[in-house]
Structure 1
Amino acid sequence: MAKNTGVDLTRVRNLGVIAHIDAGKTTTTEHLLYYAGAKHKLGGVDEGTTDTDYDPEEQARGITIYSACVPFEWAGHTINLIDTPGHVDFTAEVERSLRVLDGAVVVFDGQKGVEAQSETVWRQANRYGVPRMVFVNKMDVVGANFARTLESVRSRLTPNPEEQGRPVPIIIPIGSGGAADSRTPFGGVIDLIEMKAKFFDAGDFGKTVRIAGIPEENLDEAQTYREQLFDALTAHDDKDLITSVVLDGKEPDPAKVRQLVREQCLARTIYPVLAGSGREHIGIQPLLDAVTLYLPSPLDRPAVVGTDPKGKKEQKRKPDPKEPFCGLVFKASWHPNGNRFFIRVYSGVMKPNMRAYNPGKDTKENVAKLFHVHADPARGLEEVENGPAGDIVCVVGLKDTVTGDTLCETAHPILLETITFAEAVVSQSIEPESGADKDKLAHALEVLQLEDPTFKLKVSEGQTVMSGMGTLHLEVKRHRLERDFRLKVRAYPPRVSFREMLKAPRTVDVKVEKLGDKPAFAELKVSFTNFKTDKPVSVFNVVNTDANPVPVAFLAAAEKALFDSLQTGELGYPMMNAQARLLDAKFDPQVSTEDAFVAAAIRAYREATQDNVQLLEPIMKVTVTTPNQFVGSILGDLTRRGGQIDAQEMSPNGDMVELISRVPLRELFTYANEVRSLSQGRAAMGMEPHSYEPAPDSVLRQLMGE
């Protein structure tokens, strides 16, 4: 029987959990589900038994690869929880999740503080304007330091608090580290609003919470942090909820303090900070409470903005079931019984048996049934009666829709901004071991491309080339081919995915008067320039069709041919930031055809790019954290690889140094192993795409076989 989803939107939270790899996101998520009663036994990352890391690859590696959406209930609220990867190779999963969620919990390792990928996910959340909270995890680990982690968040993520907001603790730890520390071991947390201590019974995995007075030795610290909390809140207390009371030296009403924390969290003037340990089952229930108290409901978020697909006028949709329906497809996943498409409903109500309009493709899709999906596919789909504004639903078997597409009502079309993904930086040729599996491999690769917008395919000189965000990314895809599609494949060594860019702008006039031996006519004037846009290439038609009535079909054919041509540069690599403008066009009503305009567009492109492109190579931002004694050898090695050192920072306790540099990707395929050798296994490294820059002439000569 279908589940009725007629819910109060004020009590819905679309929540993401984001962090650097190994900060403890999935363990934290397991505890959220366990305490909420969504599961009856705690899973473990190391044992491969977590709900959200259901894929065999995730269980084998102990990392999250695919974002998972799990609905559960807490304190009368419905929480749609999305656990996301921390590894940079799977940043697309974070990107698409942040695009559709309303609030986020950013998890930091209490020992390591802000790490390379922490900065990346924080910037992604900034880009989408996502209110968030900070959870300082692993406070039980030897060397964990709450104050130091808090300071790293302030200095590296919010150095300008007036513009970027500030992290403000509302829950602080009691002690830190474990028995091996000389300090007080971590044993509980302090609620700075209630000024109460909370302890968690290890006997039932932290389910039983004991509230007590704050230990004497922690009172001064708690009072200091509370004063900092009130200082931050009163700086933006426009309604005077607590300011006058605090200035009079009185105790403010906790309910008003929470109201102010919520208002400022939604406005992103503050980021509430909490502490705990998923592994030791401490501090998770206060985090759940904070999610419901401070993070936004769909109604707290601004109206979604799109355009009328025909008139290109701005359109808005409020998160209201009475508005016309619109939603964004943010994830697609292959399933043998029909591909699954995950949709964030922004307005109106999505209903079974409806015909949903895809304005980007100008097609209609049949929506037979709607489902909620558990993280583990083995637990199946839960059918629901409808998908109201604010909900995340799953539809099976859409035909023409892909990630980033809008679905809406035909009578009220709106085209939402699609999801922008990073460019692939690593490529690898792949072929089946058996020639009989060639078609099967092609189908499997298309399925993987459907699921993952950062996974690209190209057939070049008879070879199938797959491209992705890193070597681990491509390795996971190969394992999927072998495991899910029963294919034996042969993969060749990975190589860099180069790009091309115009050296200089160029305007060309071209004329086509024959196609083969038949008369034809098309004349085009096209300008080609470099232009920094969100999309790698773009084509604009600026022909004044009132004064020059070239048939729309001819112009459309020329635009598409220009766009397709710009996908590949003169050297065979995709063009970056190339823009073509169709300035003028002439036609002959007797002999002009779409094919003639296609031929003219291709000729224009060839003339514009001939001896006019430069090769670009991906540059990575590399962060190495190493003990002080290995800094010299690691710096020397980075320099030998052509690295530019951007920063060298000593950790607060002076025993570790963080090196940040920009290094060509072609020098980094084996770097993870080599940096461990240089540091006796004690250095940690992370890298993420930084930019594309002109490649040295030696690289170009090598590619050309000279």
Structure 2
Amino acid sequence: MGILAHVDAGKTSLTERLLHHAGVVDEIGSVDAGSTHTDSLALERRRGITIKSAVVSFALDGRTVNLIDTPGHPDFIAEVERVLGVLDGAVLVVSAVEGVQAQTRVLMRTLRRLRIPTLIFVNKIDRRGAGDTDLLRSLGDRLTPALVPMGTVRDAGLPAASFHPYPYPDGDADFADRLGQCLAEQDDTVLAAYLDALPHPLPSARLHQELLRQTQQALIHPVFFGSAITGAGIDALARGVRELLPRAGGDPDGPVSGTVFKVDRGASGERTAYVRLFDGTVRVRDHVTLHQGRGKARGGRVTGVRVFTDGTAARTGAVAAGRIGQLLGLTEVRVGDTVGRPGPRTTAGGHFAPPTLETVVGPVRPGDRSALHTALVQLAEQDPLIGLRHDEIRREISVSLYGEVQKEVIGTTLAEEYAIPVSFSATTTIHQESVDGSGQAHETMGEDGNPFFATVGLRVEPGPEGSGVDYRLGVELGSMPYAFMRAVEDTVRQTLRQGLYGWEVSDCAVTLTHSGYNSIMSTAGDFRRLTPLVLMTALRRAGTTVREPMHDFRLEVPAGALGQVLPLLSRLRAVPAPPQAERYGYQLTGEIPAASVHALERRLPGLTGGEGLWESSFARHRPVPGAQRPPARPRTDHNPLHRREYLLHVVRRV
């Protein structure tokens, strides 16, 4: 199971408390003291936040629980992205003081969309300002109404606060009636049984059966309250984990099928792959196959296996279906790899929006340029959403980011773990290009100044939003060798990373309309070099529009600050809906360019006296408004938009 939450809601503290409850640790670690078991990085201990996901294992009444503690800061959402695909269930932690926060809503929407069984744990009931009844109403309004409180809170906001679970499954009549109503709202069969039983509640056995079924189908979410610091409510939560979350399935004797969700490097650079195994068994000295998307299959021999047990990763001879293990010896393993046979859960991904910011990173010492490149490649192996762009012309490396905190962490990691001090340029926004219409072009071997032994024709058209690049064949598959066909497709996808204005082109269809080759002279290189010329000519004829990332936002401000906040939103190109009056001020919702979010976050505390509440999350891309000259990004290739320049670089002649 995964533990997920907005930053500072208490995920890591809850993990420590569960380890103590299970008897794995005698002393509970402290986030503030940097003594927790899952925050193992020095930087995590120093900053008091989780940066990388961590795995621990413990037993609850004979059931082994593999628990993954995930980062809560939105800058490290990529770590959460990789974990979601391997979970059987989750615990979403909400602070009883801060309530539902921006990241909480993003995570809950994703968990429900993926149908991951989820319990909700309201933490910090012992803190001043903690709520219970009002907070439960807020959870229903802002997360999902399909919630079942599993008990009551006493003395909320006091150090002696406690959680009293209902005597489940044989609860009192009021609880049974509320539970029956909630379950009936999710299932017509239960609704009919509930109405037939009135004025009495449904039998406790039926309630227990339906709560278990609907929880495991992610139709309903039991809610527990407590405190990770004092231990209040932990017994009830542990019982909920044991009884309500589904057991891992899988056939240990079947074909191997698993997912690599994390890769670490040891002191000498060796890779350790964290694998959730869905089926089969991997043993030491086994040869395993690795896949990723449409890429070429790779392989490797496993030289060591560790399985998580009692809070540590212990050396063993094998890891079986349903468990998480560390595999050693796989020199080519990457995050996101499928181990063995692909299955329905090994291809999961794309749950969150990609990064919308980027910065140029350079070494403080010029002699570190090569070492910096190697270090960034290693960091990108561990975090695939750290996209790297290499500009050989300017000798620069750009890194894509989710936010400023991530940039600070990358800089600190490079300085402390690789001894490479770096500097960053100002953070800029990553735009996209979309195709306006249809455009096509072709070049025939031996004609029109085509210096390559290849014939390529391509048509570019707009595609549905979110479709990426849809590559199609308008010629027979056997019209030329597969290696040449593959060279064209791979080059199309590579070339579209930089459109007419230098931004990645997405949501388009590209069709191969012409093909031809010389059986003696042609090579795959001819097709790789010709395809960019043809594709960019077709793209120029189709036209593109530069689109900027937009965030949905929700802003609560005191009544007296509304007159100052609205003009600021206008200057930052936000599009707010009419203000909604609330008890203590106004609530504003709407859209704002991602490029303006950081500026608003800096100004808001001063304008609202520290009382403004802000949350935002990526929503969509929209055309850059009113731009006569759309924002462009310098190209890092040989610029196939300019034929003369391109040919001089590629074939050294025009």
Both proteins in one fold, TM over 0.5: yes
Instruction: Look up the SS of the partner of 1:676 in the other structure.
Output: helix
Instruction: Look up the SS of the partner of 2:601 in the other structure.
Output: helix
Q: 1:362 and 1:247, CA in 2 relative to 1: closer, same or farther beyond 3 A?
A: same
* 1:673 counterpart = 2:623: no
Cα pair 1:27 1:279 within 8 Å, conserved: yes
Cα pair 1:373 1:382 within 8 Å, conserved: yes
* 1:111 counterpart = 2:91: no
Instruction: Look up the SS of the partner of 1:63 in the other structure.
Output: coil
* 1:402 counterpart = 2:334: yes
* 1:638 counterpart = 2:569: yes
Cα pair 1:567 1:574 within 8 Å, conserved: yes
Cα pair 2:86 2:345 within 8 Å, conserved: no
* 1:43 counterpart = 2:8: no
CA distance in 2, matches of 1:666, 1:609: 27
Match of 1:125 in 2: 111
Match of 2:454 in 1: 522
Match of 1:622 in 2: 553
Which of 593, 603, 611 is matched with 2:523 structurally?
593
CA distance in 2, matches of 1:578, 1:656: 45
Match of 2:300 in 1: 365
Q: 1:397 and 1:533, CA in 2 relative to 1: closer, same or farther beyond 3 A?
A: farther
Which of 312, 318, 326 is matched with 2:257 structurally?
326
Q: 1:501 and 1:80, CA in 2 relative to 1: closer, same or farther beyond 3 A?
A: same
Bigger shift: 227-236 or 421-430?
227-236
CA distance in 2, matches of 1:24, 1:82: 14
* 1:170 counterpart = 2:144: no
> In the TM superposition, what are the counterparts of 1:106-255 in structure 2 within 5 Å?
106-158=92-144, 166-178=146-158, 186-193=161-168, 224-233=174-183, 236=187, 247=198, 249=200, 252-253=203-204
Which of 606, 609, 612 is matched with 2:536 structurally?
606
Cα shift at 1:41: 0.9
- The one-letter code of the counterpart of 2:73 is H
Cα pair 2:177 2:202 within 8 Å, conserved: no
Cα pair 2:473 2:513 within 8 Å, conserved: yes
Q: 1:279 and 1:634, CA in 2 relative to 1: closer, same or farther beyond 3 A?
A: farther
Q: 1:512 and 1:251, CA in 2 relative to 1: closer, same or farther beyond 3 A?
A: closer
Which of 203, 214, 220 is matched with 1:264 structurally?
214
Match of 2:325 in 1: 393
Which of 13, 33, 44 is matched with 1:58 structurally?
44
CA distance in 1, matches of 2:302, 2:436: 48
What CA deviation, in whole Å up to 9, does each residue of 1:415-472 have, x standing for no partner? 9425225322111111111121111111110111011111111122321111111121
Q: 1:389 and 1:158, CA in 2 relative to 1: closer, same or farther beyond 3 A?
A: same
CA distance in 1, matches of 2:127, 2:307: 37
CA distance in 2, matches of 1:634, 1:263: 47
* 1:494 counterpart = 2:494: no
* 1:424 counterpart = 2:355: yes
CA distance in 2, matches of 1:429, 1:92: 20
- The one-letter code of the counterpart of 1:324 is P
Cα pair 2:169 2:208 within 8 Å, conserved: no
Match of 1:454 in 2: 385
- The one-letter code of the counterpart of 1:46 is D
- The one-letter code of the counterpart of 1:655 is Y
What CA deviation, in whole Å up to 9, does each residue of 1:135-169 have, x standing for no partner? 1222223332222222222223336xxxxxx1111
Bigger shift: 412-421 or 114-123?
412-421
Cα pair 1:136 1:149 within 8 Å, conserved: no
Cα shift at 1:515: 12
Cα shift at 1:34: 1.2
CA distance in 2, matches of 1:442, 1:375: 39
CA distance in 1, matches of 2:585, 2:63: 43
CA distance in 2, matches of 1:24, 1:413: 34
Match of 1:479 in 2: 412
Match of 2:11 in 1: 25
TM normalised by structure 2 equals 0.88
Cα pair 1:515 1:596 within 8 Å, conserved: no
> In the TM superposition, what are the counterparts of 1:366-385 in structure 2 within 5 Å?
366-372=301-307, 381-385=313-317
Cα shift at 1:656: 5.6
Q: 1:701 and 1:358, CA in 2 relative to 1: closer, same or farther beyond 3 A?
A: closer
Cα shift at 1:514: 7.3
Instruction: Look up the SS of the partner of 2:598 in the other structure.
Output: coil
Cα pair 2:13 2:30 within 8 Å, conserved: yes
Cα shift at 1:30: 1.5
Considering only aligned residues, what root-mean-square deviation do their CA atoms show, in Å?
A: 3.0
Match of 2:652 in 1: none
Q: 1:354 and 1:532, CA in 2 relative to 1: closer, same or farther beyond 3 A?
A: farther
- The one-letter code of the counterpart of 1:696 is P
Instruction: Look up the SS of the partner of 1:100 in the other structure.
Output: coil
Cα shift at 1:111: 3.2
CA distance in 1, matches of 2:379, 2:310: 19
> In the TM superposition, what are the counterparts of 1:339-350 in structure 2 within 5 Å?
339-350=271-282
CA distance in 1, matches of 2:115, 2:129: 33
Cα pair 2:180 2:201 within 8 Å, conserved: no
Cα pair 1:69 1:375 within 8 Å, conserved: no
Q: 1:176 and 1:408, CA in 2 relative to 1: closer, same or farther beyond 3 A?
A: same
Q: 1:234 and 1:495, CA in 2 relative to 1: closer, same or farther beyond 3 A?
A: closer
- The one-letter code of the counterpart of 2:530 is A
* 1:683 counterpart = 2:612: yes
Cα pair 1:188 1:283 within 8 Å, conserved: yes
Instruction: Look up the SS of the partner of 1:101 in the other structure.
Output: coil
Counting aligned pairs with the same residue, the percent is: 27
**Structure 1 stretches lacking a partner, 5+ long:** 1-14, 160-165, 180-184, 197-221, 300-318
Cα pair 1:192 1:225 within 8 Å, conserved: no
- The one-letter code of the counterpart of 2:613 is A
Cα pair 2:183 2:190 within 8 Å, conserved: no
Match of 2:644 in 1: none
TM normalised by structure 1 equals 0.82
Aligned length: 625
* 1:566 counterpart = 2:496: yes
Cα shift at 1:248: 6.9
CA distance in 2, matches of 1:442, 1:607: 33
- The one-letter code of the counterpart of 1:683 is G
Instruction: Look up the SS of the partner of 2:550 in the other structure.
Output: strand
Which of 274, 277, 294 is matched with 2:227 structurally?
277
What CA deviation, in whole Å up to 9, does each residue of 1:207-228 have, x standing for no partner? xxxxxxxxxxxxxxx8644421
Cα pair 1:641 1:667 within 8 Å, conserved: yes
CA distance in 1, matches of 2:252, 2:489: 39
- The one-letter code of the counterpart of 1:463 is E
CA distance in 2, matches of 1:132, 1:99: 14
- The one-letter code of the counterpart of 2:307 is H
Cα pair 1:241 1:257 within 8 Å, conserved: no
Match of 2:438 in 1: 505
- The one-letter code of the counterpart of 1:340 is T
